[in-house]
Amino acid sequence: MAFWNKGESGPSEDQVLGVLKKVLDPDLRKDIVTLGFIRNLKIENGNVKFDLNLTTPACPVKDQMRDQAVALIKGVPGVSSVDVNMTAEVRQSPQSDKTSLKGVRNIIAVGSGKGGVGKSTIAVNIAASLGAAGARVGLLDADIYGPTTPIMLGTDAAPQSNGSRIVPSRAAGLKFMSMGLIAKADQPLIWRGPMATKALQQCLFDVDWGELDYLVIDLPPGTGDVHLTLAQSIPLTGAVIVSTPQDVGWRISMKTLRMFQQTRVPILGIVENMSYYICPHCNEKDYIFGQSGGSRAADQLGIPFLGEVPLDIAIRSQSDAGSPLVLHQPNSPSAKVLREIAEKVAAQVSIRSFEAPVLEVE
């Protein structure tokens, strides 16, 4: 409702909302009024105040939308000031679990066709970026045989329990769970498929994840029992595929991508890791493993290309030091690339949430 003193000219609510309809969300391709992003609009003595409530705190264009909204409203006759409060409310995925994981709004799987492509590094930095933006984020290390998140997050403390529920560990602003917190780092897990599957189910369903906007799951490489169990046990919001640029890497990663497609898991996008090396002496890019393999694959498949991550010693050193690059060196070029990838993932999740009606949690 709009308020202003009698006898004073001022903008009406319809005028303000009318100009705000010119501000479009570039991902959802609708205006912010139609999308319901304008909350708590108040107009008094020419002062306009409202909340701009987005679908994710990691929105890559939130500043541009805010600035455009302010500029448009200032052009309305009678407006003396504009106060925009930026907020965010991550929507529940239409496919989200309404039982054991009912507090988790979206579940994002990160997979690759083969090991050694930096999939876990990408997963950790995506999760850390979303958490740093203000989202409630969990990270599950589902690589049962080769867990690495405890190293990358700098902790090896065993998780505690609360009755029959496991309390997830916390680091880098994340709730996280990994078999690496239970088994010793140098102890091999010589398990058959059913045992690995049971371990995954325990890490998913016996953990008290609480309320999360995003649960990022770092998968083992390949298309084995863990992948099928995950795809069949929980409704995934979508999957991110990680590979290196060379053709052999993408041919193998396509198997993981096809597996998700066959199990009807949406593909949120493709990340190309170790895309290039920047020479510290001449500052030139050297495409050691080939060039543009990821973008070509994305174009051919009609799948979003999320970005190219350079072969950067800082990414490796920060992972080994237990501090994600996006948190420890947030202004570095590689951190900016990783953060942009996380923002694009969040945007794709938001798009998915608008493709079907949101179901109420029972």
| Residue 145 counted as domain residue | yes
In a domain, 208, yes or no: yes
Distance CA(84)–CA(11), nearest Å, equals 16
Residue 93, in any domain of the structure: no
Tell me what percent of the residues of the chain surpass a pLDDT of 70: 89
Same domain for 30 and 127? no
Residue 125: C-alpha distances to residues 37, 130, 159, 183, 212 (Å): 28, 8, 22, 24, 17
Alpha-carbon gap, residue 300 to 255, rounded angstroms: 15
Global confidence as pTM: 0.89
Shared domain for 141 and 256, answered yes or no, is: yes
Please give the tally of structural domains in the chain: 2
Could you report the per-residue pLDDT of 153-162, keeping only the tens digit for each?
998 888 888 8
Q: Output the domain CATH number for residue 237.
A: 3.40.50.300
124 plus 226 within the same structural domain: yes
Model pLDDT for residues 46-69, shown as the tens digit of each residue: 999 999 999 999 998 999 999 999
- Shared domain check, 66 and 155: no
Q: Please tell me whether residues 146 and 263 are part of one structural domain.
A: yes
In a domain, 313, yes or no: yes
What letters, b where the CB count within 10 A reaches 16 and e where it falls short, cover 208-236? ebeebbbbbbbbbbbbbbbbebbbebbbb
- For Cα atoms 41, 25, 19, give the angle at the middle one, nearest 5 degrees: 45
Residues 46 and 167 in one domain: no
Q: Are residues 255 and 119 in the same domain?
A: yes
Report residue 314's pLDDT band, with 50, 70 and 90 as the boundaries: very high
DSSP string computed for 215-264:
EEEEPPSSSSHHHHHHHHHS--SEEEEEE-SSHHHHHHHHHHHHHHHHTT
Q: What pLDDT shows up at residue 263?
A: 84
Distance from C-alpha of 224 to C-alpha of 219, rounded to nearest angstrom: 10
Give per-residue pLDDT as tens, 37-52: 999 999 999 999 999 9
361 is a domain residue: no
Q: Identify any residues that bridge with 286 across adjacent strands, giving them in sequence order.
A: 277
Domain shared by 190 and 266, yes or no: yes
Which DSSP state fits 179?
A: G
349 falls within a domain: yes
State yes or no: pLDDT of 36 exceeds 90: yes
CATH of the domain at 47: 3.30.300.130
Same domain? For 77 and 189 the reply is no
At which of 53, 88, 123 does a domain end? 88
Lowest mean pLDDT among 25-29, 104-108, 197-201: 197-201
* Whether residues 232 and 316 fall in one domain: yes
- Residues 236, 187 share a domain: yes
Closest CA relative to residue 244, chosen from 282, 301, 297, 207: 297
What percentage of the chain reaches a pLDDT higher than 90?
Answer: 56
- Domain range for 54: 13-88
One domain for residues 135 and 68 = no
